[in-house]
Amino acid sequence: MGKPRGVLHQRLAQGEFEHARRAPSPDLATLVEHYWYVAWDLRGLPAQQQETLPHPNVQFVVEPGCTAIYGVHTGRFTRQLEGQGQVFGIKFKAGGFYPFYQAAVSELQDRSLDPMRIFGADAASFESNILAAADFDAMAEMAERLLLTYLPAMDPNVERVSELVASIANERSLTSVETLVQRTGLTKRALQRLFNQYVGIGPKWVINRYRLHEAIAQLQAGAPVVWTELALELGYFDQAHFIRDFRKLVGRRPAEYLRAQTRP
């Protein structure tokens, strides 16, 4: 798997930080993007802030006191890391949580859901087993067993939506809903309904989010940047609109973010 996208700070200033991912089995590949694991050790060190730009995915997160199923988060996610800790997560594919939920995933936007709503009493034992697991591989195997136990019926729209979102993420030239409308043959309204039902948020938001992910990846790579050219490449009419969206989401202007990345 490639480097995670949307992580604003690729390394901690001090301490130890681990981030691992693992692909699901073929039986779950249409529903699950991957399993992930984050651990940190800042004992004896100051707390450090980590920020990410979430993707259009539902996540089942297991952490002491915070275990929940989280819908699409629309803003920047900020977390203060201190002491020692670890988190395990299941990242569902875009559209992949709908067969488990069987309701519009947009209901979960910027909200969380008690895992017992989906997995019943097994959710509690799953949490305790994950927290007691010896390593990430054991955690991923537990997640596989849970999801396979509750494996829903196939839904052809899941794969369709997942492929559309993957296209948005991987094709830098896909910068407008109109292009997506032409590609799918759906009306703009039908496309919006499909995304709200299965993904949990509209196609315009998804396109904008992934174009900003691309901008951040380029800035993190350290290549020379011509701001006007980058803005046009990402589908913006001008540099001012790009800077406005970037600052609103990231919390600083692109040039400020770039300078922070190049500091030792």
Choose one of 114, 149, 184: the last residue of a domain.
149
CATH code for position 192: 1.10.10.60
Q: What is the DSSP letter of 102?
A: -
Residue 119 maps to a domain: yes
Whole-model pTM? 0.91
CA distances (Å), origin 100, targets 36, 116, 153, 211, 240: 20, 12, 9, 29, 42
Choose one of 116, 149, 182: the last residue of a domain.
149
CA distances (Å), origin 50, targets 6, 9, 34, 69, 131: 11, 6, 21, 20, 22
Residue 6 maps to a domain: no
Q: Report the chain (264 residues): mean pLDDT per 10 consecutive residues.
A: 64 78 96 95 86 91 95 89 92 97 97 97 96 95 98 95 94 89 93 97 94 87 83 88 90 86 64
Q: Do 135 and 163 share a structural domain?
A: no
Residue 135 maps to a domain: yes
Residue 263's pLDDT is 62
Tokens 């200033």 — which residue? Answer: 13
Q: Do 85 and 174 share a structural domain?
A: no
Q: Do 185 and 214 share a structural domain?
A: yes
Residue 83 maps to a domain: yes
Single-letter residue type at 83 = G
Q: Do 164 and 39 share a structural domain?
A: no
Residue 2 maps to a domain: no
Q: Do 141 and 23 share a structural domain?
A: yes
Residue 4 maps to a domain: no
Q: Do 178 and 89 share a structural domain?
A: no
Domain holding 184, by residue range, is: 156-262
Where are the alpha helices (H) located in 29-186, listed in sequence order? 98-101, 116-119, 122-132, 136-149, 156-170, 177-184
User: Based on the structure, what is the number of domains in the chain?
Assistant: 2
Residue 109 maps to a domain: yes
Residue 160's pLDDT is 94
Q: Do 209 and 130 share a structural domain?
A: no
